[in-house]
Structure 1
Amino acid sequence: MAAEHHAPANATEYIQHHLTFNQTASGFHLDTFWIGLFLGFVFVGVFAFVARRATSGVPGKLQNFVELIVEMVDSQIKDAFHAKSKVIGPLSLTIFCWVFLMNAMDFLPVDLLPWLANHLFGINYLRAVPTADVNQTFAMSIAVMLLIIGFSIKAKGLGGYIKELFTAPFHASGPVGTILLAPANFLLQMVELIAKPISLALRLFGNMYAGELIFMLIALLPFWIQWVLGAPWAIFHILVVTLQAFVFMMLTIVYLSLAVEDH
Structure 2
Amino acid sequence: MATEPQGGLTEYIQHHLHHDTVQLGNGPFMAIHLDSLVVSFALGLVFCLWFWLKARKATSGVPSKGQAFVELIVEFVDTQVKDTFHGDRRTVTPLALSIFMWVTFMNTMDLLPLDAPGMAVKTMGGAEMAHHTFFRWVPTADINTTIGLALCVFFIVIGHGMKAKGTLGFGKELVTAPFHAHNPIVKLVLVPANLSLNIIEYLSKPVSLAMRLFGNMYGGELVFMLIAGLFAGWISFLPGVLFNTAWAIFHILIILLQAFIFMMLTIVYIATAHEHH
Pairwise TM-score range, normalised by the shorter structure: over 0.9
CA drift of 1:7 comes to: 4.6
Find out whether 1:244 has 2:246 as its counterpart: no
Deviations, residues 73-123 of structure 1 (Å, cap 9, x unaligned): 000000000111431011000000000000000010110133335655867
> TM-score scaled to structure 2, two decimals?
0.90
Give the alignment of 1:138-177 within 5 angstroms: 138-177=147-186
- 2:35 equivalent to 1:31: yes
Relative to structure 1, is the Cα distance of residues 187 and 241 closer, same or farther in structure 2, using a 3 angstrom cutoff? same
Cα deviation, residue 25, structure 1: 1.8
Matched, 1:18 2:16: yes
Shift of 1:127: 0.2
Q: Which amino acid aligns with 1:160?
A: G
Aligned to 1:217: 226
Q: Tell me if the contact between 2:85 and 2:271 (Cα under 8 Å) persists in the aligned partners.
A: yes
Instruction: Give the partner amino acid of 1:198.
Output: V
Instruction: Note if contact 2:157-2:269 (Cα within 8 Å) is conserved in structure 1.
Output: yes
Residues 117, 126 of structure 1: 8 Å contact kept: no
Contact kept? 2:3, 2:118, Cα under 8 Å: no
TM-score (norm. length: structure 1): 0.95
Instruction: Deviation per CA, 1:44-73: give whole Å up to 9, x if none.
Output: 000001001111111111111101100100
User: Which residue identity is paired with 1:73?
Assistant: V
The structure-2 alpha-carbon separation of the partners of 1:118 and 1:36, relative to structure 1 and needing over 3 Å to count, comes to farther
The equivalent of 2:59 in structure 1 is: 55
Question: Structure 1 stretches (4+) deviating beyond 6 angstroms?
Answer: none
Structure 1 residues 166 and 51 mapped into 2: Cα distance closer, same or farther (>3 Å)?
same
Counterpart of 2:5 in structure 1 is: 8
Pair 1:226–1:184, CA change in 2 (3 A): same
Percent of residue pairs bearing the same amino acid type: 50
Measure how far apart 1:174 and its partner are: 1.2
> Residue 64 of structure 1 aligns with which residue?
68
SS state of the match for residue 19, structure 2? coil
Aligned residues: 259
Q: Kindly provide the amino acid, as one letter, of the partner of residue 206 in structure 2.
A: P
- The separation in 1 between residues aligned to 2:141 and 2:134, in whole angstroms, is 15
After superposition, the Cα gap between the structure-2 partners of 1:178 and 1:235, relative to the gap in structure 1 and judged at 3 Å, is: same
Superposition pairs of residues 59-98 of structure 1, within 5 angstroms: 59-98=63-102
Structure 1 gap ranges (5+): none
> Superposition pairs for residues 121-132 of structure 1, below 5 Å?
124-132=133-141
Kindly state the Cα deviation for residue 228 of structure 1 after the two structures are TM-superposed. Answer: 2.1
Matched, 1:260 2:274: yes
CA distance 1:189–1:50, change in 2 (3 Å):
same
Cross-structure match for 2:28:
none
Determine the C-alpha separation between the residues in 1 that align with 2:105 and 2:3. 30
Query: Structure 1 CA distance, aligned partners of 2:105 and 2:80?
Result: 20
